[in-house]
């Protein structure tokens, strides 16, 4: 625990704070008057994402890989560090799984030392290619343990195990969030995820690459809604509220529908082209958020059309 608790200003560590979600979370916490320490290796995150914070006296950046231990004095930890896009996490799969597993151990040891709350950014990928639809938190999933996505899926599953073992064995106050596909400004334009790919392709007039026949579904959450959920969950003053909770927008779209929406909203002349479906690509995904709604009094407010317009405006500034 930091010794600055004479005020309501908290000192918060965000691992992965220079990434897409981490930079939005930073912005929200700084705006709420807190102090943020970002620990990031800059593997997929960028200095551009955090450039607007650098003159803020309550912001600090540490270039650090969480597979190594870290000592800082903070009141809360958000553990977000991990490449999230399939292209990025498959680039060095051994390091990806080390990030999830050794990173979780290092951050949980830090939380134990500081006796502070810690939130884990888990993922809907823990459900794998789900046979239960929509996915409820009590579903154990359908994950290939030896496939190309396993470094990410199994790494995140093991991190959840570690969080719950530290909770049971060491009494650590944990918050585990299963994030469903989230999009918005500051996504990496080349990270290969579907929303950034489609918008960049549409804006450049390049063909829109549909993997498979485009009938697979995802449910897309706008970043502001997601980050509001993070903070509400962390603020809950109840050490039994561990989660895991699903955080996402239940409005489900096929990938083909997403492509058509992007083309319409960008007035693009791009055509749809078919590419092979990546190995182990989940066929469907939709969060069941009844528990989250009740626990956090939380609701996603920004629907796909509005969120895509905001995201398109951001990507236009990059071209
Ligand atoms: P991102 O790639 O933009 O951000 C990840 C950040 O972690 C980057 O800044 C990267 O440099 C940093 N990082 C990676 N490995 C690291 C390491 N070993 N040590 C320190 N820093 C490291 O991805 P994002 O979309 O912002 O995702 C953030 C978190 O949320 C990830 O844990 C991801 O698994 C999870 N998540 C995201 C989504 C989504 O749709 N965006 C969905 C499910 C889960
Ligand atoms: N996808 C696609 N074209 C692309 C990028 C992705 O059709 O250019 C598909 C991908 O096969 C998957 C879905 O979009 O079915 C979501 O992919 P993403 O990588 O964004 O996230 P994840 O598979 O991890 O949900």
HSE (side-chain half, CA atoms, 13 Å) at 207: 7
**Ligand 2 pocket member 281 (CB < 6 A):** yes
253 lines ligand 2 (CB under 6 A): no
25, 36, 42, 44: residue to mutate for ligand 1 pocket, most atoms within 8 A of CB: 44
**Domain assignment present for 281:** yes
194 CA to middle of ligand 1, Å?
Answer: 16
* Full domain range(s) for residue 309: 9-316
Residue 315 CA to ligand 1 center (angstroms) comes to: 19
Best mutation site among 194, 206, 275 for ligand 2 pocket (most ligand atoms within 8 Å of CB) = 194
Lookup: tokens for 206: 């390049």
Predicted pLDDT at 8: 85
Ligand 1 contacts (CB < 6 A) are 15-16, 18-22, 40-45, 65-67, 80-84, 88, 99, 103, 121, 123, 179, 181-182, 188
What's the gap in Å between 260 CA and the centre of ligand 2? 15
Q: Flag whether 244 is in a domain.
A: yes
- Whether residue 172 contacts residue 166, with contact meaning beta carbons closer than 8 Å, is answered with yes
Residue 177 belongs to some domain of the structure: yes
Ligand nearest to the CA of 124: 1
Please state, in angstroms and rounded to a whole number, the distance separating the CA atoms of residues 124 and 128.
7
CA distances (Å), 166 to each of 81, 113, 133, 276, in order?
Answer: 19, 12, 30, 41
Pocket test for ligand 1, best of 81, 149, 224 (most atoms within 8 A of CB): 81
Residue 267 CA to ligand 1 center (angstroms) comes to: 31
CB-count exposure of residue 117 (10 Å: 0-12, 13-18, 19+)? buried
Q: Give 246-272 as a 3 state SS string.
A: EECCCCEEEHHHHHHHHHHHHCCCCCE
Query: What SS3 class is residue 316?
Result: helix
> Which residue blocks in the chain are alpha helix, DSSP H?
20-31, 47-50, 86-89, 93-114, 150-170, 194-204, 223-235, 255-266, 290-296, 304-318
Report the domain count for the chain: 1
pTM of the model: 0.97
Start-to-end C-alpha separation, the chain: 44
The pLDDT profile of the chain, 319 residues, written as one tens digit per residue, is: 555 555 789 999 999 999 999 999 999 999 999 999 999 999 999 999 999 999 999 999 999 999 999 999 999 999 999 999 999 999 999 999 999 999 999 999 999 999 999 999 999 999 999 999 999 999 999 999 999 999 999 999 999 999 999 999 999 999 999 999 999 999 999 989 999 999 999 999 999 999 999 999 999 999 999 999 999 999 999 999 999 999 999 999 999 999 999 999 999 999 999 999 999 999 999 999 999 999 999 999 999 999 999 999 999 999 8
Phi-psi region of 103 (alpha: psi -120 to 50; beta: other; left: phi over 0): alpha
CATH number at residue 281: 3.40.50.720
pLDDT given for residue 144 in this prediction: 97
Q: Please choose, from the candidates 295, 294, 288, 304, the residue with its C-alpha nearest in 3D space to the C-alpha of residue 127.
A: 288
Q: What is the distance, to the nearest Å, from the Cα of residue 148 to the centroid of all Cα atoms in its chain?
A: 20
Q: Which of 70, 138, 139, 133 is nearest to 105 (CA)?
A: 70
Distance of CA 63 to the CA centre of its chain: 20
Q: At what angle do helices 255-266 and 194-204 cross, to 10 degrees?
A: 40
- Distance from C-alpha of 95 to C-alpha of 38, rounded to nearest angstrom: 20
Q: Residue 1 falls within a domain, yes or no?
A: no
Q: Does 125 fall in a domain?
A: yes
Which residue has a Cα nearest atom 33 of ligand 1? 84
Marked catalytic residue, from 152, 183, 211, 314: 152
Give the number of the atom of ligand 1 that is nearest the alpha carbon of residue 99.
18
Angle between helices 304-318 and 194-204 in degrees, nearest 10: 60
Nearest CA to ligand 2 atom 1: 194
Q: According to the model, what pLDDT value does residue 53 have?
A: 98
Residue 40: per-residue pLDDT: 98
pLDDT at 191: 87
Q: Is residue 208 part of a domain?
A: yes
Q: How far is the CA of 271 from the centre of ligand 1 (A)?
A: 31
pLDDT score recorded for residue 118:
98
CA distances from 274 to 204, 208, 255, 256 (A): 18, 8, 12, 10
**Residue 217 in domain:** yes
With left for phi above 0 and alpha for psi between -120 and 50, is residue 82 left, alpha or beta?
Answer: left
Residue 124 alpha carbon, nearest atom of ligand 2: 25
Atom of ligand 1 nearest to the CA of 221: 40
* 139 catalytically annotated: no
Residue 4 counted as domain residue? no
Letter string b/e over residues 288-304, b meaning 16 or more CB atoms within 10 A of that residue's CB: bbeebeebbebebebeb
pLDDT of residue 4: 55
Say what the pLDDT of residue 60 is: 98
**Which ligand number lies closest to the CA of residue 220?**
1
């Amino acid at each position: 625990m930091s010794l600055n608790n004479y005020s309501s200003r908290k000192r918060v560590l965000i691992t992965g704070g220079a990434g897409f979600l981490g930079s939005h979370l930073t912005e929200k916490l700084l705006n709420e008057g807190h102090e943020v320490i970002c620990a990031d290796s800059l593997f997929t995150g960028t200095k551009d994402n955090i450039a607007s914070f650098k003159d803020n006296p309550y912001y600090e950046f540490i270039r650090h890989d969480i597979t190594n231990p870290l000592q800082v004095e903070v009141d809360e930890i958000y553990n977000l560090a991990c490449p999230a896009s399939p292209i990025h996490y498959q680039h060095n799969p051994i390091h990806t799984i080390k990030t999830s597993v050794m990173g979780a151990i290092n951050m949980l040891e830090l939380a134990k030392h500081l006796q502070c709350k810690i939130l884990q950014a888990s993922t809907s990928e823990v459900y794998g290619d789900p046979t239960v639809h929509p996915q409820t938190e009590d579903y154990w999933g359908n994950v290939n343990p030896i496939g190309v996505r396993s470094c990410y899926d199994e790494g995140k599953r093991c991190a959840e195990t570690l969080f719950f073992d530290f909770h049971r064995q060491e009494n650590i106050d944990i918050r585990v969030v299963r994030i469903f596909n989230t999009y918005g400004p500051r996504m990496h334009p080349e990270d290969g995820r579907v929303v950034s790919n489609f918008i960049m392709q549409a804006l450049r007039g390049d063909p829109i690459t549909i993997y498979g026949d485009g009938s697979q579904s995802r449910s897309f959450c706008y970043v502001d809604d997601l980050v509001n959920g993070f903070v509400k969950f962390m603020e809950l003053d109840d050490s039994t509220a561990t989660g895991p909770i699903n955080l996402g927008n239940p409005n489900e779209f096929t990938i083909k529908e997403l492509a058509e929406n992007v083309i319409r909203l960008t007035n693009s002349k791009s055509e749809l082209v078919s590419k092979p479906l990546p190995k182990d690509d989940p066929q469907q995904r939709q969060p069941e958020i009844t528990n989250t709604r009740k626990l956090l009094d939380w609701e996603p407010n920004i629907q796909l059309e509005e969120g895509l317009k905001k995201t398109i405006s951001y990507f236009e500034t990059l071209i």
